[in-house]
């Protein structure tokens, strides 16, 4: 998804590029492991497009880092703010209802269409990193919760 002038997208691209460089992974390894074209990977690194959450999880694992570090997500909340990560928080519909929002309101908050939210809730759509970052910010998740949420999304799509 192309977003011009999106500072989150630009920061995410810079962070992805930094993590890939630090990991020492070659472009050939990335293409093979992520099953993406070199052009697509370069577009993510340059901040041209948002990658999917499952691709972000795969890339984080490949670079031996966390999703939050890969995407440059900073959270002021600590993991100790919650007694434990409730598995319900990993469900889009639960989050939306917890926030007392209908699908249209929720969609506006995370920058997607109402039909996209419906697909997320039914497990038929894959969230972009842009919507994911907005959702995590909206929920005030800690870095540990963000990583768990991302991995849950990727694992459910596998």
Residue 122 has pLDDT above 90, yes or no: no
Q: What is the pLDDT of residue 141?
A: 78
Question: Of 29-38, 82-91, 100-109, 124-133, which range is least confident?
Answer: 82-91
Q: What is the pLDDT of residues 23-44, one digit of tens each?
A: 998 999 999 999 999 999 999 9
What DSSP designation does 1 have?
-
If asked whether residues 83 and 153 sit together in one domain, one would say: yes
Domain of 30, in residue numbers: 7-71
Partners of residue 2 on adjacent β-strands: 49
If asked whether residues 44 and 96 sit together in one domain, one would say: no
Domain boundary residue, one of 21, 36, 71: 71
| Residues 62 and 33 sit within 8 Å (Cβ to Cβ) | yes
* Alpha helix segments (H runs only) across 24-122: 27-34, 38-45, 53-62, 67-71, 92-98, 103-110, 114-122
Over residues 69-91, the mean pLDDT reads: 56
The model's pTM is 0.72
CA proximity to 11, closest of 57, 55, 47: 47
């Amino acid at each position: 998804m192309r977003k011009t002038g999106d500072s989150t997208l630009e920061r995410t691209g810079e962070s992805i590029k930094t993590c890939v460089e630090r990991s020492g992974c070659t472009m050939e390894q990335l293409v093979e492991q992520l099953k993406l074209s070199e052009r697509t990977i370069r577009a993510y690194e340059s901040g041209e497009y948002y990658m999917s959450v499952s691709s972000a999880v795969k890339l984080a694992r490949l670079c031996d880092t966390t999703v939050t570090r890969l995407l440059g997500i900073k959270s002021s909340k600590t993991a100790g703010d919650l007694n434990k990560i409730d598995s319900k928080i990993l469900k889009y519909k639960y989050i939306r209802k917890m926030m007392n929002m209908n699908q249209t309101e929720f969609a506006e908050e995370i920058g997607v269409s109402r039909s996209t939210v419906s697909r997320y809730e039914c497990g038929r759509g894959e969230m972009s990193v842009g919507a994911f970052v907005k959702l995590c910010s909206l929920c005030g998740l800690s870095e540990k919760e963000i990583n768990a949420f991302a991995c849950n999304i990727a694992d459910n799509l596998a």
